[in-house]
Amino acid sequence: MQTWQVGNFKITKVLELPIQVGLLDGLIPELNSDVVREIDWLSPDYLNESGQILADLHSFVIDDGEHVILTDAGCGNGKSYPMQPIWSNLDTPFLERLAEAGYGREDITIILCTHAHLDHVGWFSMRDEAGKWVPTFPNARLVMVRDEYERHLSQIVDAGGADGATSAEGEEDVDLIARAFHPDTAALSDQTRLIQEESFQPIVDAGHLELVPSNGEVVPGVRYEFTPGHTAAHHSIRLESQGATAFVTGDAFHHPIQIARPDWSSQGDWDGEASARSRRAVLESAAGTDLLFMGTHFAGITAGYIVEDGEGFRLVEKPSVYRRGI
């Protein structure tokens, strides 16, 4: 189990499941087997020999002794995901792994969500013994950026307004989880409605949803950072404690190739040019510093430090050799 110390924050990676090899083929169109040879640090943790993506679904637990924070919440068990059926009706030992890390369901006090896609919200809620959806973490408040939650709700359209091509606000405003693969607005609306019912609504009904403004502070040393592109209101998470900093990417970075090639955007991005600008700004700010860079879908070595590498950047395990000014 991977753990890191950032000032007063102890951060632990809790795995939900590896992403099946091949499932993300085409997500970043420029990826091919040549990339493995050109950017050697991506193998073997992040790409296989064929240039296919290696990735996983995981959460980070951030513990400062006062707050126990869960960042993003995977797919969850038993959820209905017709747009991604391979992740429907899962039965993973995520809660058992959380317990192995030293945390029970009652210990989590805050949940953070970078954006409201299905593979980031599932463990908000679970079924109880009677089959009812209830908050997974009964003592936690879900603190989320208001613009992102409202964007999520806006994807639910009335049956009369979902014609499979446009929404009531116009197709250009529809934030499709994978525009290239699932361009059907009606399907997206149905999926979003299920996500709301099965994951968000139990939190709302319990009075545990707290909406904050863009770039809002959650608790001292923990704040959202606006990184638009994957969704219009996507926010990553920045941690600061005792002079140390960390950055949790969310889907501003789907894969470490986007560190080496920040202009390579995902097919699932709402605005590929905006996501590229967000990535480059983050990387330029982080390069050569002691900021711990933590990938929300990075398999293998999940966190490291950013250094300049030609026209792009790379992820390294230790910062000191590459620190600015040395």
Using H for helix, E for strand and C for coil, what is the string for 299-321? CCCCEEEEEEECCEEEEECCCHH
* C-alpha distance from residue 212 to each of 61, 208, 230 (Å): 20, 13, 19
Q: Which residues contact 99 (CB under 8 A, 6 or more apart)?
A: none
Q: Is the peptide bond before 82 cis (omega within 30 degrees of 0)?
A: no
Closest alpha carbon to 173 in 196, 157, 190? 157
pLDDT for 321: 53
Q: Which residues contact 223 (CB under 8 A, 6 or more apart)?
A: 215, 216, 217, 237, 238
Domains and CATH numbers, the chain: 3-231 (3.60.15.10)
Q: Please give the Cα distance from 172 to 308 (Å, whole number).
A: 35
Which residue ranges of the chain lie beneath pLDDT 70?
A: 159-183, 320-326
Number of Cβ within 10 Å of residue 220's Cβ equals 11
Sheet holding 141-145, edge to edge: 3-6, 9-18, 56-63, 68-71, 110-112, 141-145, 209-212
Closest alpha carbon to 253 in 208, 221, 283? 283
Which residue reads 């950017």 in tokens? 39
Helix (H, G, I), strand (E, B) or coil at 186: helix
pLDDT for 319: 76
Q: Are 101 and 60 in contact (CB under 8 A)?
A: no
pLDDT for 160: 47
Q: How many CA atoms lie within 13 A of 294 on its CB side?
A: 27
Burial category of 29 from C-beta neighbours within 10 Å (exposed 0-12, middle 13-18, buried 19 and up)? exposed
The backbone region for 204, taken as left when phi is positive above 0, alpha when psi lies in -120 to 50, beta otherwise, is alpha
Q: Are 211 and 112 in contact (CB under 8 A)?
A: no
Pairing state between β 3-6 and 9-18: antiparallel
**What pTM value is reported for the model?**
0.91
- Cα 278 to the chain's mean position, in Å? 15
- Cα 110 to the chain's mean position, in Å? 16
Q: How many CA atoms lie within 13 A of 52 on its CB side?
A: 10
Q: What is the DSSP letter of 261?
A: -
Burial category of 312 from C-beta neighbours within 10 Å (exposed 0-12, middle 13-18, buried 19 and up)? middle
Q: Are 250 and 115 in contact (CB under 8 A)?
A: yes
35: its two tokens: 């990339």
- Residues 152-177 as b or e (16 or more Cβ within 10 Å = b): bebbbbeeeebeeeebeeeeeebbbb
